[in-house]
Chains A and B, each alone.
Chain A
């Protein structure tokens, strides 16, 4: 198995020192999201992988090739690395047509072969007919697809995407998330995506790396990181205590019934998604209320019997980690926890109102 190995350190004068050490498979599709607040060094890491930035210390290896080794002064230029970089503002060449933009990086091919590849790529990206247009006259979504086409037509080993959706307005952004994910899957090239938007991270990623002040604080499968943040700082950054994989089993007039993956639990949410759609369910800890004993009638559509696994005290509130067939976190006040007699092993019923569950389609 071929690996991308990265262990780098980059210092900025008057800024944080960026440190990143990780390895990922280089020959298998997976989207790794670099997630963190702005200024935490996400983009710098991406630029180091592309060769646009030189780390002060470290090693980057891709398979057998050493891209960077500061101890031997080895450095492979961006031209030689064969990675595709999608810039935040797409960086389309304004003096070239859409077709010439896409053909720009195709060298050493016959004219006919080049034309064939470009038109094939434009077809795949639903850009046919725009070949002669100037990219400046096209919408943000179209510009993004041109930039992707320009990169993908060279069949890169890796795809690096820097905040791929941030240049778009909010309305198109959400619909383009799913589209982008589908596109990345269809090309099957391993990707790194930088984002500071947690919903974007969820919609696009498989693996998550959380960065804070220039350092990778936690990494792993997306739902695992979201469900089990390593510390309260990461939990606060992720903002959502529970992320649960599920599938829509029944859709009815804006209300959807979902079944949690690997369990029998069913939840009701407000969502227009059709049956069969896979989703992430995001539940904030403060939206989960806990009851002991038999409750009366409640407006909350979701009542989940659960067992308390552990309690974490954070000042006036307590994070209650629950097992209700899936991992669930509730935030309650210290007094409430005492009144309910919460302790590990206790049985409770977790109530969640349907509109409090945020649904991110995958």
Chain B
């Protein structure tokens, strides 16, 4: 077993999940409650990674964060290192690539919260933010947990984007799925087998969680 790759993968998945928890909740709540007419544009943008090939997203991230781009230069002058082929780089890629897996379950569970309950809370003198914490969150925890599990599991199984942005540097960007790819390339089928079966079992267990807690069909 490639413990370095497993540890790296778990770190990447955990960081991605935490970041998307804090970024995804407000974005999802906005999507679920806004009356903005251009909402469909934001919804479509959020869903893009579902159908876009990982190579396309990876390519654009490379292009946007490379040494010739303003973003890449700004990052380099601030940190002294480059985003591509670094952990920060694959984390950025992974966050962007996983937005729909977090935001869509969040938003659909927020949208299912009866609007009257929110309004009742406002009329009882409770602020919008407190209402979100005391009414909306407790009533949509299944959707939030689903989003977090999907994000985590999807990050663990991510391949294309990580390969494009991170390459395969052991301990830095070589995740489990890339380790399997390298093993197969090296005709080391036994090692590939061991890692693949672990991933398969993990993916199945992870998917069981949202299906078990949700009575509604999953929004993905």
A89 to B122, CA, bound (A): 16
Q: A79 near B: Cβ within 8 Å? A: yes
Q: Which A residues are in CB contact (< 8 Å) with B120?
A: 85, 87, 91, 93
Q: Mark A72-87, 1 if CB is under 8 A from B, else 0.
A: 0000011110111101
Q: A105–B125 contact, CB under 8 A?
A: yes
Known: A85-B123, A105-B126. A94 touches B116 (CB 8 A): no
User: Size band of the A side of the interface?
Assistant: 20 to 34
Q: Which of B112-158 contact A (CB under 8 A)?
A: 114, 116-117, 119-127, 134-135, 138-139
Distance in angstroms from A147 CB to nearest chain B CB is: 8
Q: A95 near B: Cβ within 8 Å? A: yes
A94 to B116, CA, bound (A): 12
Q: Mark B12-51, 1 if CB is under 8 A from A, else 0.
A: 0000000000000000000000000000000000000000
Q: Taking chain B's interface residues, is the majority helix, strand, or loop, or is none over half, making it mixed?
A: helix
Q: Which residue on chain B has the smallest CB distance to residue A100? A: B134
User: Size band of the B side of the interface?
Assistant: 10 to 19
Known: A107-B125, A154-B124. A87 touches B119 (CB 8 A): yes
How many A-B pairs have beta carbons closer than 8 Å: the answer is: 51
Q: A52–B125 contact, CB under 8 A?
A: no
Known: A94-B139, A95-B138. A105 touches B124 (CB 8 A): yes
Q: Which residue on chain A has the smallest CB distance to residue B134? A: A104
Q: Which of B67-123 contact A (CB under 8 A)?
A: 114, 116-117, 119-123
Q: Which B residues are in CB contact (< 8 Å) with A78?
A: 119, 122-123
A51 to B124, CA, bound (A): 12
Q: A52–B119 contact, CB under 8 A?
A: yes
A91 to B126, CA, bound (A): 15
Known: A91-B114, A91-B117, A95-B138. A83 touches B126 (CB 8 A): no
Q: Which residue on chain A has the smallest CB distance to residue B131? A: A79
For the complex of A and B, the 7 pairs showing the least CB-CB separation, nearest first, are A105-B124, A91-B120, A91-B116, A85-B123, A78-B122, A95-B138, A79-B125
Residues of B within 8 A of A (CB): 114, 116-117, 119-127, 134-135, 138-139
Instruction: Name 27 interchain pairs, CB-CB below 8 A, sorted by A.
Output: A51-B122, A52-B123, A77-B122, A78-B119, A78-B122, A78-B123, A79-B122, A79-B123, A79-B126, A83-B123, A84-B123, A85-B119, A85-B120, A87-B119, A91-B114, A91-B116, A91-B117, A91-B119, A91-B120, A93-B120, A104-B121, A104-B134, A105-B124, A107-B125, A107-B126, A154-B124, A154-B125
